[in-house]
Structure 1
Amino acid sequence: MATDPSEYEKAMPIVATHLAKMERAVDRTRASHAGRPFKVVHQALAEALQDEGAQRVVPQVVEELARQISDAATGP
């Protein structure tokens, strides 16, 4: 089924706004929780996403982001 190009144009600002909220939540969590245990990072990320109003994220994406933040080196 073909999609009307105008639907794409309408959706893109909504998608961009949601991605910006996700990015802020991930950046904030990375800055405060890099290298910490996965469960702690996962909880902090879930709270940050909630705070940003971006809680509608596929659970596997949240888990992967939390894993990457948890596995991150904490500095020099």
Structure 2
Amino acid sequence: MATDPREYEKAMPIVAAHMAKIERAVDRTRASHAGQPCAAVHQALVEALQDEAAQRVVPQVIEELARQISETPASPPS
């Protein structure tokens, strides 16, 4: 099944905007919860995604991001 390239071109700005929302939520969660227990990071990430109106993320992706953020050492305060 061939896909019309125009459909791709129309979808890409929507996909890029959604990815930017996810990235902001992850960055915010990493900044505030790096090194904390995975459950706390997971909850904070879910809330950040909701704040960004980016709730449509595969649960396994959220789990993996929360695990990675939890395992990241917290940055020393500036």
Q: Normalising TM by the smaller chain, what interval? A: over 0.9
* 1:64 Cα deviation after fit: 0.3
> What percentage of residue pairs aligned between the two structures are identical?
79
Residue by residue over 1:42-76, the C-alpha shift from the partner in whole angstroms, topping out at 9 and shown as x without a partner, is 00000000000001000000000000000001136
Q: Which residue of 1 aligns with 2:59?
A: 59
Gaps of 5+ in 2: none
Q: CA RMSD in A?
A: 0.8
Please give the residue correspondences for 1:1-76 in structure 2 after superposition, counting only pairs within 5 Å: 1-75=1-75
Q: Taking structure 1 as the reference length, what is the TM-score of the superposition? A: 0.97
The runs of 4+ residues in structure 1 deviating greater than 2 Å are none
Q: How many residues align?
A: 76
Gaps of 5+ in 1: none
Amino acid at match of 1:56: R
Residue by residue over 1:6-37, the C-alpha shift from the partner in whole angstroms, topping out at 9 and shown as x without a partner, is 00000000000000000000000000000000
